[in-house]
Amino acid sequence: MGDNADLDDDNDGFADTYEMECNSGPLNANSVPTDSDGDGLCDEIDLDNTDGPLWQYPDEGGSTPGFGLISALAVLTLAALARRD
Ligand SMILES: [Ca+2]
Ligand SMILES: [Ca+2]
Ligand SMILES: [Ca+2]
Ligand SMILES: [Ca+2]
């Protein structure tokens, strides 16, 4: 497969686009993204590098039960705060 069509040019298991986002080398199999908390997202795009492998924010591509409720409450809180001004 040519490099243009290959999503993982160095075959280290991380896609080229992901490696670029994570500041690791997409053409160097020895250069892989750093994932401090092991949740599958490299530190560069992980919103919290210390929250452990079982937690991913929805923004990180995972799904977290209950987050919909939390975010709804956050929106309501922000709206309430905004109205106070
Ligand atoms: Ca790669
Ligand atoms: Ca690499
Ligand atoms: Ca991580
Ligand atoms: Ca994380």
- Report pLDDT digits (tens) over 20-33: 999 999 999 999 99
Please give the model's pTM, rounded to 2 decimal places: 0.60
40 is in which domain, residue-wise?
A: 34-84
Ligand that comes closest to the CA of residue 11 = 1
Q: Is residue 67 part of a domain?
A: yes
CA of 54 to the centre of ligand 3 (A): 10
18 close to 33: Cβ distance less than 8 angstroms = yes
CA of 25 to the centre of ligand 3 (A): 18
Q: Is residue 23 part of a domain?
A: no
Q: Is residue 76 part of a domain?
A: yes
Q: Give residue 9's pLDDT band: very low, low, confident or very high (50, 70, 90).
A: very high
Contacts of residue 58, Cβ cutoff 8 Å, sequence gap at least 6:
64, 67
CA of 73 to the centre of ligand 1 (A): 39
